[in-house]
Amino acid sequence: MEFKFHTLDVFTQERFGGNPLAVVHGADDLSTEAMQTIAAEFNLSETVFVMKAEQPAHSAKVRIFTPKSELPFAGHPTVGTAVLLAELRATEAGGGRDALVMLEENIGLVRAGVRIGTAPGLVSFAEFDGPKIPVMETSLPDRADIAAAVGLIPGEIGFANHQPTIFDAGARILFVPVGSRAVLAKAGPNLSQWSRALGVHSDIQAYVYCNQPEQGDAHYRARMFAPSLGILEDPATGGAAAAFAGVVKHCDDLRDGMHKRHIEQGYEMGRPSQIELSLEVAGGKLTGFRIGGYAVRVSEGTITV
């Protein structure tokens, strides 16, 4: 059987930046094992498999795989798939500028608004509503073990009100704040120490970040390490940005209203990425958030199974 696929670079307006994504179409008859095999073959952070929606009003049902396992939800696959489906639908309809894409993911229904780049040189932008308000876990490895797992020393972790936390907004993320971009640059997954140091948390993704971004319009700079998922480092992680909404609310003094935070990621990998995070606070609580970014098509073809 042959299946059509596209690849996109997500959270960037430039090809060969951002986070690469593969999207396989017409995957209704593929088994879970076949999907996992294809994802391992693409060997990207995530591969999306598009199927017919279970509800007629929705755009598609999707499943998301890393090279090693399936995810209930992920941000850059959501943005990239929403952009791609909106662009393909607009082409079939003979044009269009804005679209609403409803994706049935394992976490539930995810709604994304897409602004299609219609003029030459314009890139499409998608923003989705967070499917789950981040929840903070109370169980946490101690600081020395966290430092060992990400190749740092305990004194390099933390700044201002930001201390290590774990939040879950569809994926469990260990957030590790560091005091400078220089410290961030030398961080990395210590594979010889990872499982020992993190113990029961060894399957978690580690998001190391600082508040010293390179770009003037950004608020944070981040790196993501997920060796248990087959991802030593991820260039742009929308699912982690979703959980980061909980970190920002927890650590920063946010008043009721809308707040925007821009995150840069992937610079140390040569894959510059920009993620837009919008938070809504009401009654002193985080009540909603959105993740947005650009995506540009790179290639298309068929894969034989």
Q: Model's pTM, two decimal places?
A: 0.94
pLDDT tens for 25-82 read: 999 999 999 999 999 999 999 999 999 999 999 999 999 999 999 999 999 999 999 9
Residue 92 among the catalytic residues:
no
119 pLDDT above the threshold of 80: no
Phi-psi region of 170 (alpha: psi -120 to 50; beta: other; left: phi over 0): left
What's the total number of domains in the chain? Answer: 2
Domain CATH code at residue 206: 3.10.310.10
- Do both 140 and 264 map to the same domain? yes
- Do both 17 and 154 map to the same domain? no
Mean pLDDT score across all residues of the chain: 95
Paired tokens of 276 = 């837009």
Q: Are 48 and 62 in contact (CB under 8 A)?
A: yes
Q: Are 274 and 264 in contact (CB under 8 A)?
A: yes
Strand partners, 205: 173
- Do both 26 and 76 map to the same domain? yes
- Do both 178 and 48 map to the same domain? no
- Do both 162 and 71 map to the same domain? no
- Do both 37 and 79 map to the same domain? yes
Question: Which one is catalytic: 46, 104, 276, 280?
Answer: 46
Which of 34-48, 107-121, 145-159, 237-251 has the least mean pLDDT? 107-121
- Do both 233 and 101 map to the same domain? no
118 pLDDT above the threshold of 80: no
Q: 284 versus 117: which is more confidently predicted?
A: 284
Gap between the Cα atoms of 91 and 6, Å rounded: 15
Paired tokens of 288 = 């909603």
Residue 16, judged by CB atoms within 10 A of its CB (0-12, 13-18, 19+), counts as exposed
Percent of the chain whose pLDDT exceeds 70: 98
| Residue 35: HSE in the Cβ half-sphere, 13 Å Cα cutoff | 24
What value does the mean pLDDT take over residues 151-173?
96
- Do both 228 and 106 map to the same domain? no
193 pLDDT above the threshold of 90: yes
pLDDT recorded at residue 98: 87
- Do both 139 and 287 map to the same domain? yes
- Do both 83 and 170 map to the same domain? no
User: Strands 285-304 and 257-265, how do they pair?
Assistant: unpaired
- Do both 256 and 167 map to the same domain? yes
- Do both 99 and 223 map to the same domain? no
pLDDT recorded at residue 63: 98
pLDDT recorded at residue 253: 84
Strand partners, 68: none
User: Which structural domain range is residue 81 located in?
Assistant: 2-130+294-304
